[in-house]
Structure 1
Amino acid sequence: MGEFVVTVTFSIKAGHTVEFREAMLANAADSIALEPGCWLFDVCEAADGAEIFLYEIYDNKAAFDAHLATEHFRRFDRLVSPWVIEKRIATYVRLGVTTRSHKSGH
């Protein structure tokens, strides 16, 4: 079976986009650095800054469950909760990937 994929879309309250972005990027960096079962954590932002979209890949559901129990995630979640209008989560099993190397300047 493929890896466990999690997508999350956050709608952010006006006036909190910068601090939410900073907290999210720190959480993503901690997840990659501290969790061996988390090996991709993409953070994307809508052009207007009102939505943040995450694409995370874990070895399996147990690795994602471990992520939710980490101190860095719990601290992040407590910090940003007042800034969030809505949080939509979906999970998937990764079937495959097609990619090419990112070229600088594009």
Structure 2
Amino acid sequence: MFAICVTFRVATGQMEAFMPLMLENAATSKELEPGCHRFDVLTDADKPDEVFLYELYTDSAAFDAHCDSTHFKAFSVATANMVAGKDVTSWRIVAS
């Protein structure tokens, strides 16, 4: 398995517009991508302008397919002006 962790820093005042698009992207990824096994969207009350994602894919090729998908590209375009910053890390599961 291949895990992706993403932290979005959403621009001030944009969370209300950003979150429905994020949730739609997550739901569509789980529904349409056979290689996407988990797509959690998390928030922290102490960090109101951040959204953390935990995504689990079969392998890096499945994640690449996610990044190439129409819905991901549409999400990226729609939210480009809402995102102040983004950190992405990838992890390979060695034991579970």
Q: TM-score when scaled to structure 1?
A: 0.86
User: d(CA) in 2 for partners of 1:96 and 1:75?
Assistant: 34
> Counterpart of 2:24?
26
Residues 1:52 and 2:54 aligned together:
no
* Gapped regions of structure 1 (runs ≥ 5): 98-106
* Gapped regions of structure 2 (runs ≥ 5): none
User: d(CA) in 2 for partners of 1:54 and 1:96?
Assistant: 21
Q: TM-score when scaled to structure 2?
A: 0.95
Q: Which structure has the larger Rg over C-alpha atoms?
A: 1
Q: Please give the secondary structure, in 1, of the residue aligned with 2:34.
A: coil
Moved over 3 A (4+): none
> Counterpart of 1:100?
none
Structure having the higher strand fraction is: 2
Identical residues among aligned pairs (%): 40
Which one-letter code corresponds to 1:77 in the other structure? Answer: S
> Counterpart of 1:81?
80
